């Protein structure tokens, strides 16, 4: 793996000619599109987006103006509050969530992890890949980090996750071994980890979705 790895995954169609060339100069553009694309049905206020991405309100607001001019996001108002949503008509999201992972070399190990989690954990309500692998910035030394939301039995499910990741770390995928880290939280225990979950959801890729996970994301990112 190196910096020249060809990245694949979620894409968004840009109109030609580009209506707002300056959108490429905004530092927040990539973070904004990544967050909105992973939550295509969610509406976020500018303040919510600023808090989730760690950019200033003005930086986000300026980026949203140009993204809207390029028809990449849609805006609406709820009273005085401006709401932002990805333009789903321009979004190309692979049906297989594994294909959304930017670096193809991680597809096989993440797919194996996903299969094992589904086989060994009880009542999964959502799985989110996060960290450098989700951002497309991983190298050979990077851990594969996953957040798993379960209905209950957090401690038992966390133990099962630890056991299966230890086993997967001994396996080879295309000749390479990978380190896996899985954080399991229940619907109840997530109430204690708002700040950490904000970091996970702001840059993560959703592999398994549910109404419970979407509600939690909304609480953490928009209402937290």
pLDDT digits 0-9 by tens, 166-212:
999 999 998 999 999 999 999 999 988 878 899 999 999 999 999 99
Looking at the chain, the whole-number percentage of residues with pLDDT higher than 70 is: 94
Domains of the chain with CATH codes: 11-92 (1.10.10.10), 97-222 (3.30.460.10)
d(Cα 72, Cα 179) in Å, to the nearest integer?
A: 36
Mean pLDDT of 105-112: 96
Dihedral sign, Cα of residue 95, residue 101, residue 106, residue 111: negative
CA-based torsion, 86, 89, 90, 96: positive or negative: positive
Q: Which of 163, 155, 208 is nearest to 184 (CA)?
A: 155
129's enclosing H/E stretch is: strand 124-130
Query: Given strand 179-186, what is the order of strands in its sheet?
Result: 179-186, 143-150, 124-130, 205-208
Give the strand pairing for 143-150 and 179-186. parallel
Residue bearing tokens 């490429």 = 24
Evaluate whether 188 touches 157 at the Cβ level (below 8 Å): no
Find which of 2-16, 51-65, 189-203 is predicted with most confidence, using mean pLDDT: 51-65
Position 151 pLDDT exceeds 50: yes
Lowest-pLDDT choice from 112-116, 146-150, 190-194: 190-194
Residue 145, pLDDT above cutoff 70: yes
User: Mean pLDDT lowest for which of 115-119, 194-198, 213-217?
Assistant: 194-198
Mean pLDDT over each residue of the chain, to the nearest integer? 90
Quote the pTM value: 0.81
pLDDT-based confidence at residue 223 (cuts at 50, 70, 90): low
Name the β-bridge partners of 11: 92
HSE, CB side, 13 Å, CA atoms: give it for residue 1: 19
């Amino acid at each position: 793996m190196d910096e020249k790895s060809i990245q694949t995954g979620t894409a968004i169609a840009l109109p030609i000619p580009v209506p707002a060339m300056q959108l490429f100069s905004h530092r927040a553009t990539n973070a904004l599109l990544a967050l909105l694309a992973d939550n295509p049905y969610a509406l976020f206020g500018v303040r919510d987006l600023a808090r989730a991405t760690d950019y200033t309100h003005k930086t986000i607001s300026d980026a949203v103006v140009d993204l809207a001019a390029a028809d990449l996001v849609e805006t609406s108002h709820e009273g005085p509050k401006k709401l932002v949503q990805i333009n789903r008509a321009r979004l190309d999201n692979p049906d297989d969530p594994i294909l959304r992972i930017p670096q193809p070399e991680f597809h096989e190990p993440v797919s194996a992890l996903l299969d094992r989690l589904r086989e060994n954990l009880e009542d999964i309500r959502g799985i989110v890949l996060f960290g450098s692998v989700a951002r497309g910035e991983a190298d050979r030394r990077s851990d594969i980090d996953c957040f798993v939301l379960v209905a209950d039995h957090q401690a038992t499910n966390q133990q099962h996750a630890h056991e299966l990741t230890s086993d997967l770390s001994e396996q080879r995928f295309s000749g390479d071994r990978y380190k896996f880290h899985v954080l399991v939280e229940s619907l109840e225990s997530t109430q204690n980890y708002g700040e950490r979950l904000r970091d996970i959801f702001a840059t993560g890729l959703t592999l398994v979705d549910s109404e419970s996970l979407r509600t939690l994301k909304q609480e953490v990112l928009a209402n937290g």
